[in-house]
Structure 1
Amino acid sequence: MADGKVVQVYAFYLGTWVIEVDHGSFIARYGEVKPTGLKVKGNQEVKRGQLLGQVGKLQGLKSSMLHLEMYSSNKSPRDEGLTLRGRPPYQRRSDLMDPTASIDKAVME
């Protein structure tokens, strides 16, 4: 969606991985990535349009999708984490944002 820097790459859930990228004005979590399809690593600079990984398949389910979360803060996921246990309903930080406008902009430009 935008140039940035990979913050971290790690196991996510049901056999998939996650890539967290600081894009400057927002942080994105790209989840449900195929473990053997990872194309980036932590601290790597990335460019808009660059392939970061391949969509994975959730173990035990017959579906696959890209799990996308966007955060408006510049607080690093390493400082606080993006998932906050005990914070219903989604267990996410308070700066979780609706990605629709950013996706529309990325597609239209």
Structure 2
Amino acid sequence: MFSRVGDKWTMLVVAYLGEGPMRFNELRRGIGTISQKMLTSTLRTLERDGYVSRTVTPSRPPHVDYALTDLGLSLLVPINDLARWTIENLDAIQAARADYDAREGN
């Protein structure tokens, strides 16, 4: 369970959907580097786990919206906290990497 919630794609999808409901291609364009297959897989898993709802509006072609459920909205809190922590500690992380690379000859 922890690996799913903390994985890169889950965090990005939840963060983007935190802005409001989105269609598949809108979400894919926003994330940019995710493949169609990975986005489909991530959305299905998030829907199965109760974080995301999928609403189909009958039309030609069908209009499908993805949105965070209440559970998904509650996940935004730790995701935003982690993002803020990362930004606040970016200099220290980069310095640690540089020190490591210098010691290891990278």
Q: Which has the larger radius of gyration?
A: 2
Higher relative helix content: 2
Higher relative strand content: 1
